[in-house]
Amino acid sequence: MITGEVKSKVDAVWSAFWAGGVSNPLEVVEQLTYLLFLKGLDETHTAREARANRTGEPIQNPVFTDGMDQYRWKTFKDLAPQQMYSVLVDRIFPWMRTLGGEHSAFAKHMKDARFTLPPEKAGVLARVVDGLDKIPMQDRDTKGDLYEYLLSKLSSAGQNGQFRTPRHIINMMVEVMRPTPQDTICDPACGTAGFLVGSEEYLRARYEHDIYSDPALKQHFENAAFHGFDFDHTMLRVAAMNMLLHGVPNPDIRNKDSLSSDHGEDSELYSLILANPPFKGSLDESSVAKDLTSIVKTKKTELLFLALFLRLLKTGGRAAVIVPDGVLFGSSKAHKQIRETIVEHHKLEGIISLPSGVFRPYAGVSTAIMIFTKTGRGGTGDVWFYDMKADGFTLDDKRNPTSENDIPDIIHRWHQRDEEQARQRTDQSFFVPKADIVANGYDLSINRYKETQHEAVEYDKPEKILDDLDALEGEIQAGLKRLREMLA
């Protein structure tokens, strides 16, 4: 966690941008990301210099060569505002765009990076650089948390919130799936890489020693465990930076329109998919990847994403994904087909119905988490349903913290599923046998199976009601009489 003091320093940098007229939060994050990258390059170079000094060898893979002193954060930060601006825009940016993947996965996405503060705002740049320099970023945890904090400002900022699944929901899904250091994790609509970062933190907290003491695991963790696709360049940069600051220098963060391009190279590669894909209605028939329509014939993005997950998973691979409720009960042929495919050909394991305020304030849709394993030969038995009513925040647009929170209970019950068999359909969680699901046309909405208990309200007996009516009538007559007496 970052402290209040660091928070207010970050806030000050943020305000400097706003004051400078850059008011699109995503743009602010993007510009700050470039500056953080620049600062990081200097740190890398300094570490390599130190190593060279210790060993007496020449510096290995220097980031900066002779004559590039002005490009280094430590020199650059002390330049006068106008000079700082022109060095950044005329020299550093063109150079950063040529870096390629040499220093990190992030550099790959620098191709069309632009610094958008106008020249007359050089003073703002100087204030921002000064502010960034004051924020302590010694260790990985601080950097990661700091960046997450920056990104959290996106969610409270309208339009851009669509890119972020709330962090506590991500953590819940990660805790439910329990990734292992051997997993190859993919989010085909990664946005800011929240799911990958959540998985990375989970793995580090539990397996750090194992990962770093086994060269093969370390290699896998740093270069092959994390895969994220998106087709928005800003998002790709933000995602790569997010991973970098969380200590994963080479994640596979790739520019890819997941629903339109074929997946030959990626099919059957991943052992775990965590995702909250964007649902934006329907695509053009012509732009849908053929290998997806072979699984389900539809143009609806939410169904195509389910087909995509099945395509990307290796046999035995697991998925926990957020779907809009319509996927669970939609009655079109395609809706039924994809549900039937998951239930009959693979292994559907759980449905967690989320309360509809989870994605407020920018979407009030009703959603659920679908958990399944790709088997290719069926295996669905009893499916576990959980009716989540609270996530620790009010479900209105304010989303203030509250004490009502089902998340710990969900994680606990999911991992103790063998103790769940005795539960009734009136409980918050229960099992539904596959046969029931088939009998209900593969409907997976929890309301189809949940039984509500009506509180028996005791009403008065008719005799008593009639007595009351008589008494009231008597009072009404007496009142009318009194009223008559008052009026002349």
Partner 1 sequence: MSWDQVRLGDLTHFIRGVTFKPDAKVEVGSEGSVVCFRTSNVQTKLDQSDLIAVPRDIVKRDEQFVRHGDLLVSSANSWNLVGKACWVPELSYEATLGGFISALRINSPRLDPRYLFHWFTSSKVQDTVRSFGRQTTNISNLDFARALNLEIPLPPLHIQQRIAAVLDEVDALRQKRERSIEKLRLLKSEAFKFAISTVEVREITLGEMCYITKGTTPTTLGFDFSSAGAKFLRVQNLVDGRIVHASDDLFINRETNSALARSIILPNDVLLSIAGTIGRSALVIESDGEMNCNQAIAIIRPLHSINSAYLREWLDTSEAQAQMRGSSVTATIANLSLGSISKMRFPMPDLAHQVKILIELQVIQDQIDYQRASLNHMRDLGDTLQSQAFSGSLTLRNFEVAL
Residues forming the site for partner 1 (CB under 8 A): 329, 355-357, 395-396, 398, 400, 445, 447-448, 452-455, 457, 459-462, 465-466, 468-469, 472-473, 475-476, 479-480, 482-483, 485-488
| Residue indicated by tokens 């119905």 | 353
Structure tokens at 242: 């997010």
CB of 119 to partner 1, least distance (A): 38
CB of 445 to partner 1, least distance (A): 7
In the complex with partner 1, which residue's Cβ is closer, 131 or 330?
A: 330
In the complex with partner 1, which residue's Cβ is closer, 106 or 393?
A: 393
Closest CA to 115 of 142, 85, 147, 95: 85
CB of 441 to partner 1, least distance (A): 13
CB of 364 to partner 1, least distance (A): 8
Largest Cα–Cα separation, the chain: 116
In the complex with partner 1, which residue's Cβ is closer, 3 or 447?
A: 447
**Alpha carbons 318 and 273: distance in angstroms, whole number:** 6
In the complex with partner 1, which residue's Cβ is closer, 112 or 458?
A: 458
In the complex with partner 1, which residue's Cβ is closer, 89 or 395?
A: 395
Are 319 and 372 within 8 A, CB to CB?
yes
Give the pairing of strands 367-373 and 347-353: antiparallel
Give the pairing of strands 252-255 and 226-230: parallel
In the complex with partner 1, which residue's Cβ is closer, 54 or 459?
A: 459
**Alpha carbons 347 and 345: distance in angstroms, whole number:** 7
CB of 397 to partner 1, least distance (A): 9
**Alpha carbons 85 and 121: distance in angstroms, whole number:** 9
Give the pairing of strands 270-275 and 367-373: unpaired
CB of 46 to partner 1, least distance (A): 44
| Residue indicated by tokens 């997993």 | 183
Are 382 and 434 within 8 A, CB to CB?
yes
Q: DSSP labels for 394-444?
A: -SSSS--EEEEE-HHHHHHHHHTGGG-TT--TTSSEEEE-HHHHHHTTT--
**Alpha carbons 48 and 187: distance in angstroms, whole number:** 33
In the complex with partner 1, which residue's Cβ is closer, 47 or 469?
A: 469
Are 380 and 346 within 8 A, CB to CB?
yes
CB of 486 to partner 1, least distance (A): 5
In the complex with partner 1, which residue's Cβ is closer, 45 or 335?
A: 335
In the complex with partner 1, which residue's Cβ is closer, 280 or 389?
A: 389
Give the pairing of strands 391-393 and 401-405: antiparallel
CB of 448 to partner 1, least distance (A): 8
CB of 483 to partner 1, least distance (A): 5
